[in-house]
Amino acid sequence: MNFIRRNGHVIPIVLRRRKGTRHLRLTFGQRNQLLVSVPWHCSKAVALNFVEAQRDWLEASLESLPPAKTLLKWLAEHPRVSASGDWFCVRIEESPCKHANYTFTNNGADLVLRLPDPNRETAMIDLIRRFANDVLLCRVAYHCQRLNLSRPVVTVRDQSSRWGSCSSRGVVSLNWRLLLLEPRLQDYVILHELAHMTEMNHSKRFWALLTHYDPQRFEHESALDLVATTIMRVGR
């Protein structure tokens, strides 16, 4: 199913049937696809009529949404990543080796991504995720040592909408797109999840603890909100 815009652009529609849902609801996915949540027995025709009835709102919303971008295009426009509390300039090179790898040059200030095919998006994402796994684990360890916390198990994933999460078993999962954030915002997300290791909720005690970990958390939360919609659409 598709939503055909007035300008002729085609927007995919994903129908989501939910048990217990009483109302129809429209949202957008990270690829700017249209997500339509409907009651379990709602017909496709009813869902499409609902979408059409919201056309004016959809057209206006689509105009304001940032475009989904490949990681290759993002790095071409913004050739840097954050790690270890700092920015690193990124350079992409073709590698004669069969396997992609990365290294540092310019006294450690530049990150060189080497790939057999530097124009292949999936290979680039795989390599960036490997790099993210290495540096984010180190950054978590740094903050744990600084705050005298036990070091959690850390996984780096491709979450659809979250920057990170902390399970009841104390496993911290981080989104690889944290590399595309400013270092201070990357640290804020890490500290947010580390605070959940003590407070598995969003109670007053949690926010007080997070403020202790990051005294500038209000500023960082506001800054993160401004860029989240754009960066979450990278590499989709």
d(CA 94, CA 116): 5
Q: Cite the DSSP H helix spans in the chain.
A: 44-53, 55-64, 71-77, 121-147, 183-196, 204-213, 217-231
pTM of the model: 0.86
- pLDDT of residue 22 exceeding 90, the answer is no
Q: Over the stretch 104-157, which tens digit does the pLDDT of each residue have?
A: 999 999 999 999 999 999 999 999 999 999 999 999 999 999 999 999 999 999
Q: Which amino acid is at 38?
A: V
Q: What domains lie within the chain, and their CATH numbers?
A: 2-64 (no CATH), 71-231 (3.30.2010.10)
Q: Over the stretch 180-194, which tens digit does the pLDDT of each residue have?
A: 999 999 999 999 999
